Amino acid sequence: MQLHADLTRRAVVQSAALDWIPSPMPGVDRRMLDRNGAEVARATSIVRYAPESFFSAHSHGGGEEFFVLDGVFSDENGDYTKGMYVRNPVGSRHTPFSKEGGTIFVKLHQFDPDDQASVRIDTTCEQWRPGIVDGITVMPLHQFRGESVSLVNWAAGVIFPEHQHPNGEEILVLKGQLIDEQGCYDEGTWIRNPPGSHHRPFSEKGCVLYVKTGHLGQQ
């Protein structure tokens, strides 16, 4: 399956408008944002676990990172509540489940094979740091070589200078609304700006974003 698989092209998806697609396991459904492959694939998705659902034990040949959007997502290593950011490196293995139900934003098979960090961050307990523009604060989550993952909090009325993404950028709007010269992006919108792209984003209402940069030119 190929869905927004060309990393040199811009993609914008309002995830809330997508149908839930059943996975091979009952009670686990997906909204697919990008995908290149069959069941084992390079993929970016919103995944919803119904209460008492689970996925069979599996390994992550290309790594897994996820951010918990709602509920509680679990595996044999612990419980991950809303706001948790987790990285399971290449070769890791687990059996995920959810007792009460949960929804995650997840990226699969997108790790640098040398990046073997196992990361667990509860973003509800971390401190925000000043950004490079007044009115923007940043919470760094992970960095490896050119790749950077952060939460970014925009106050209402912030305008960011026009800038280029030499190795690409992905954004998931977690709260509020982001705007640029190509449109308005409400909560749940996923955006991929390819390597070499330019934009000048701003936010009239304020927003919170999950932002990943510097990785698309390496894949």
Compute the chain's Rg from CA coordinates.
17
**pLDDT given for residue 175 in this prediction:** 98
Q: Coil, helix or strand for 217?
A: helix
Structural domain total, the chain: 2
Q: What is the phi-psi region of residue 141: left when phi exceeds 0, alpha when psi lies from -120 to 50, beta otherwise?
A: alpha
CATH of the domain at 110: 2.60.120.10
37/110 same-domain check:
yes
| Residues with Cβ within 8 Å of residue 22, at least 6 apart in sequence | 28, 29, 30
The mean pLDDT of 3-11, rounded to a whole number, is: 93
- Read off the pLDDT of residues 192-212 as tens digits, 9 standing for 90 and up: 999 999 999 999 999 999 999
pLDDT classification of 117: cutoffs 50, 70, 90: very high
**pLDDT given for residue 58 in this prediction:** 82
Identify residue 202 by its one-letter amino acid code.
Answer: F
Lowest mean pLDDT among 39-43, 122-126, 166-170: 39-43
Q: Residue 19's domain spans which residues?
A: 2-122
18/98 same-domain check:
yes
**pLDDT given for residue 194 in this prediction:** 94
81/107 same-domain check:
yes
pLDDT exceeds 90 at position 40 = no
Domain boundary among 122, 150, 173: 122
Domain boundary among 122, 138, 154: 122
27/102 same-domain check:
yes
pLDDT classification of 140: cutoffs 50, 70, 90: very high
Q: Is the pTM of this model over 0.85?
A: yes
**pLDDT given for residue 59 in this prediction:** 84
96/142 same-domain check:
no
11/47 same-domain check:
yes
100/150 same-domain check:
no
**pLDDT given for residue 218 in this prediction:** 58
pLDDT exceeds 80 at position 171 = yes
As a whole number of angstroms, the distance between CA 101 and CA 63 comes to 23
